[in-house]
Chains A and B, each alone.
Chain A
Amino acid sequence: MDLVAAGDARAFEAVYDRHGGAAFSVAYRMVGNTSIAEDIVQEAFLSIWRSRLRYRRERGSVRTWVLGIVHHRGIDALRRNLVHDRRRVSAEGIEERQEAPERTDVEAARRDEARSVRRALDKLPDGQGQVIELAYFGGFTHTQIAEMLGMPVGTVKGRMRLGLEKLRRTLGPEVAW
């Protein structure tokens, strides 16, 4: 990452090769449209490149850092209402998306990790998983979620926090992404 911060294009390309697939998958999960997901990933990686955003090792892995930036860009896109119209157009056609093959042991291990996080999310009680998914992947604010679900904002915030607490416990204290 130091080389990327110093403007080394080949080092940047290596970062994309390693994390571009996960970044695209997160963006696609958020917006459900290939071309918008591409735009989000391109914006996210260009912001890393152009602003020489600093990666801080103590805050987690490079992958988590990159996915956090992609998530922020995804939320921006969702809140700018760019997505809804194009989602509708996309639903009329056929989305071209290709499941990533498991080429290496590392990728197979990542799929196992993904399954364990999904299982932990599915097991959350009292609609906690629902508010977490609406917020994180849907880009909705707590007040929007409260309106959608017809419940007080305080309940939504409480479920978010309890859900994260429970997720943390289920995934184990040693979890570091």
Chain B
Amino acid sequence: MSTPEHEKYSEDLGAYLLGALPEIEAAALERHAMSCELCQEELDRLRPAADALPHSVEQYEPPSSLKRSLMEAVEEDVRAAEGASARTRPARRRLSLLPRFVLERPAFAAAGAAALLVLGGLAGFGVDRATRGGGGGSRTVAAAVDRRALPRGAAQLDVAHNGRATLRVRGLPVLRGGRVYEVWLESGGAVRPAGALFGVMRDGSGAAAIPADLHAVDRVLVTRERAGGTARPTEPPVISVRT
């Protein structure tokens, strides 16, 4: 059945599929669509038309340097992962509560035992208690926020029944110098980029859709990174959500 809320969002479906909604409006539409069958059906119906657009462009040969530099980065990652795995195995047994990026990055580890205490005991973190549970198998999970870094910050993770999630924040400082908030996924102590970067509006609110299935993820983390994001976190997380 059509509702006023559906009517409001249905006008935006075309713009959403074309990437023409600002990030916050896109996140709001995604949240609505999680519980609106009509919108989901409309999106499914129109998506093939949007998906056809990139297939319309003239085809050009990419420079060979692109593959070279891409594969160099990939091989470097493989070597680093193999080396780190060999180096950190004993340490991980000793400090099994720590996320892997703490163990694998000496500079990060040197940032101080204080950061580790914060992670372990939530000391210094304010916990924004949001409602758990929700209709149709979707749920909202409260986030722990580092009060020293984000004194007025609050965050929550909306997880749909299909594992798709949106992180919503408020009261966060606008980052200067082209820096962004970057989202990370922690599974079994290993941390990887979620492929989601976000900024916040002047009022400190923002949202990031997480393009990954969260079923096997233990925690969603956020750090502040340079524009474009980084391959590994360069600071302790300022937001942490146990999934």
Chain A residue nearest in CB terms to B66: A38
Task: Tell me, yes or no, whether B107 is within 8 Å of chain A by CB.
Answer: no
Chain B residue nearest in CB terms to A38: B66
Main secondary structure of the interface of A (DSSP, over half): helix
Q: Hey, which chain A residues are within 8 Å of B73, CB to CB?
A: 42, 46
A60 touches which of B51, B67, B178 (Cβ 8 Å) = B51
**A100–B60 CB distance below 8 A:** yes
Most chain A beta-carbon contacts within 10 A, residue among B21, B55, B185? B55
Contacts between the two chains (Cβ within 8 Å), count: 195
Q: How far is the CA of A160 from the CA of B16 in the complex (A)?
A: 10
**B70–A135 CB distance below 8 A:** no
Most chain A beta-carbon contacts within 10 A, residue among B56, B63, B194? B56
Most chain A beta-carbon contacts within 10 A, residue among B62, B77, B213? B62
Q: Hey, which chain B residues are within 8 Å of A165, CB to CB?
A: 46, 49
**A71–B19 CB distance below 8 A:** yes
Q: How many residues of A contact B (CB 8 A)?
A: 82
Interface residues of B, Cβ cutoff 8 Å to A: 11-15, 17-22, 45-63, 65-67, 69-71, 73-75, 77-78, 81, 178, 185, 192-195, 197, 211-213, 227-228, 231
Known: A157-B15, A171-B49. 16 other contacts (CB 8 A): A13-B67, A22-B59, A25-B59, A67-B55, A68-B51, A75-B19, A107-B59, A118-B56, A120-B52, A132-B18, A137-B53, A142-B21, A156-B15, A160-B20, A165-B46, A175-B48
Q: 22 A-B residue contacts at CB 8 Å?
A: A16-B67, A28-B57, A29-B57, A41-B62, A41-B66, A42-B73, A50-B77, A51-B192, A51-B193, A53-B195, A60-B47, A67-B51, A68-B54, A98-B61, A99-B60, A100-B60, A114-B58, A114-B59, A135-B20, A141-B21, A142-B21, A160-B14
